[in-house]
Amino acid sequence: MKTKDSRPKAFGTGLIALDLVMGAEATSPVQSWAGGTCGNVMAILAYLGWNSFPIARMNGDPASHRVRADLKRWGVALDFTDCAPTSHTPIIIQQIRQDRHGSPTHRFLWSCPRCGQRLPSYRPVTQHAIETVAANLPGAAVFFMDRLSRAALSLASAASAQGAVIVYEPSARSDEKLFAEAIQLAHIVKYSDQRLATAGGTMQAESATLLEVQTFGSDGLRYRHRLGAGISEWAHMSAINAPNMVDTCGSGDWCTAGLLTKVAAHGQIGLRDGTGVSIHQALRYGQALAAWNCGFEGARGGMYAVDGRSFAKQIVSLLEGRPKLSMVAAKAIGDASVACPACPPEDHERDRSPRQGRRSAAVAA
């Protein structure tokens, strides 16, 4: 007899990409993982015990096979990852380096370092996604979005009507009309000061915003809410010091997933029943996840380097102010080879030879 799945359910649409991570050590292999803001949040939520459903347009190209295999490894549901019309899966190259003081930095490449061609980029879901996904939204606790389209907003509106918490993480103000609609719909708005000085429009009478969070990297974050009487003052929270600083990429996604796990697992009802204290505790938990993530290369590198039991213990240690980071290897799987769609095939065969041209052939991962 099939038992009912009691895990909270989250849907998400936005940037779901193949991350090719080039570590600081020149001899280390290129890692290929599912990435992008939405891809990371969906994978981390699954890791934390959610039933997560990313919505994308993967067309079966090699990058999509790698992304789907990686997401499946962590228990992410793939039901809606090939919504029509399908398209190439975005590919992003992350290069990790050290500055002159020895501190880690990273940059993203959007073009192939070998042939110079632009790598596949993000394309939003369309009306077809509404027809495919909308009937499955009842029971969802969260609907997450970081890139906007008319279809994404329609799905968010439908999810909100079913009681889901709408979460919007703006990457930029690319379309003012869609941006304004997203701000009105979202119950949680979270953004980085590096991208937006202010979201604008939150906490107004016509907006649904219950919680607004602005992050400042190593300087922590600030937040305000209206879960009580009126709108609270901005409250600042210092960051939790990372026990080991290797790479900061993806830490904001961990913070988001941690926050949602603590305040949004029961949808809008659970969020509205929260208090300023519960919001503070949830954000602190998110900050602990973010600090832990800094100890590994890539946006979710720790998931591949530490087993689940050790992860839980290390987060508790961070929250208790006694940070400890030790690596207990999780079960490894072989990575599929993914190549730049524009490069001649013979270039990729040459790049697969041991230790040859790793830096210039990042997309032959």
- Tens of pLDDT along 237-295? 999 999 889 999 999 999 999 999 999 999 999 999 999 999 999 999 999 999 999 99
- pLDDT at residue 339, rounded to an integer: 63
- Output the pTM of the full model: 0.90
**Cβ of 105: how many Cβ atoms within 10 Å?**
14
Is residue 360's pLDDT more than 90?
Answer: no
Q: Dmax over Cα atoms in the chain, in whole Å?
A: 66
Burial of 75 (0-12, 13-18, 19+ CB in 10 A): middle
Structure tokens at 321: 């102010």
Average pLDDT across the chain, whole number:
88
Least confident of 68-82, 91-105, 321-335: 321-335
Query: What's the pLDDT at 270?
Result: 97
Over pLDDT 70: what percentage of the chain?
87
Q: Round to whole Å and give the CA distance between 55 and 169.
A: 16
State the average pLDDT over residues 33-54: 98
Which of 139-148, 183-192, 237-246, 352-361 is least confident? 352-361
C-alpha distances out from residue 241 to 108, 217, 254, 294, 327, Å: 24, 11, 15, 10, 18
Mean pLDDT confidence for 83-101: 88
Number of other residues whose CB lies within 10 A of the CB of residue 203: 18
- In the DSSP assignment, the letter for residue 198 is -
For 294-325, write each residue's pLDDT tens digit: 999 999 999 999 999 999 999 999 999 987 76
Q: With 50 as the cut, is the pLDDT of residue 92 above it?
A: yes
Over 60: is that where the pLDDT of 361 sits? no
| pLDDT score of 353 | 39
Which fold is adopted by the domain 9-349?
A: UDP-N-acetylmuramoyl-L-alanine:D-glutamate ligase (3.40.1190)
Sign of the dihedral defined by the CA atoms of residues 114, 115, 119, 120, in that order: negative
Predicted confidence (pLDDT) at residue 73 exceeds the cutoff of 60: yes
Q: How many residues does the chain have?
A: 365
What ranges do the domains of the chain cover?
9-349
Q: What is the pLDDT of residue 359?
A: 40
Evaluate if residue 1 carries a pLDDT over 70.
no
pLDDT value of residue 27: 73
Q: Which residue has the higher pLDDT, 95 or 12?
A: 12
> Is there a contact between 105 and 99 (Cβ–Cβ < 8 Å)?
yes
Neighbours of 277 (CB within 10 A): 8
**Residue holding tokens 């305000």?**
224
Q: What is the pLDDT of residue 337?
A: 54
pLDDT tens digits along 174-209: 789 999 999 999 999 999 988 777 788 899 989 999
Overall average pLDDT of the 326-334 stretch: 48
Q: Which structure tokens are listed for 305?
A: 């380097």
